[in-house]
């Protein structure tokens, strides 16, 4: 799989950190898009949900998605994911996170 540099359009490899043509840092390019993933409604235990979040973040590092909309429900998973996101924010691995509008069962994570 390949992607194109958003700055100059040059084809780049997924594991490439910097564009060969314009030197833009590919890892922080974003296209303003969002993905929505439900991590709480397939009988996940809390640690399954946390693992899903970790895998998602690794996956999304290699594309240009700006926002991750997490469906977390209103129980223990939400509490644990909120705690986890707080730690990620502290380490600057995400830019911010907030409840998604008036929907308390969803969290909008600003990745880049
Ligand atoms: Zn480029």
C-alpha 4 to ligand 1 mean position (Å):
8
DSSP secondary structure of 35-54: EEEE-SSSS--HHHHHHHHH
Q: Looking at residues 78-104, what average pLDDT do you find?
A: 96
Let me know whether 80 and 49 are in one domain: yes
Identify the domain containing residue 11 by its residue range.
Answer: 1-30
Let me know whether 11 and 59 are in one domain: no
Let me know whether 35 and 50 are in one domain: yes
C-alpha 74 to ligand 1 mean position (Å):
42
pLDDT, tens only, 20-71: 999 999 888 888 899 999 999 999 999 999 999 999 999 888 788 999 999 9
Helices 76-90 and 46-61 pack at an angle, to 10 degrees, of 40
Let me know whether 42 and 80 are in one domain: yes
Domain with residue 94: its CATH number is 3.30.1370.110
Question: With 80 as the cut, is the pLDDT of residue 1 above it?
Answer: no
């Amino acid at each position: 799989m390949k992607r194109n540099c958003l700055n100059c359009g040059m084809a780049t490899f997924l594991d490439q950190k910097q564009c060969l043509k314009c030197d833009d840092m590919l890892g922080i390019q974003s296209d303003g898009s969002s993905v929505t993933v439900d991590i709480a409604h397939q009988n996940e235990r809390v640690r399954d949900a946390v693992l899903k979040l970790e895998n998602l973040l690794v996956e999304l590092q290699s594309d240009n998605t700006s926002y991750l909309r997490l469906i977390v429900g209103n129980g223990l998973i939400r509490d644990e994911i909120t705690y986890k996101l707080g730690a990620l924010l502290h380490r600057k691995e995400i830019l911010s996170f907030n409840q998604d509008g008036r929907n308390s069962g969803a969290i909008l994570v600003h990745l880049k």
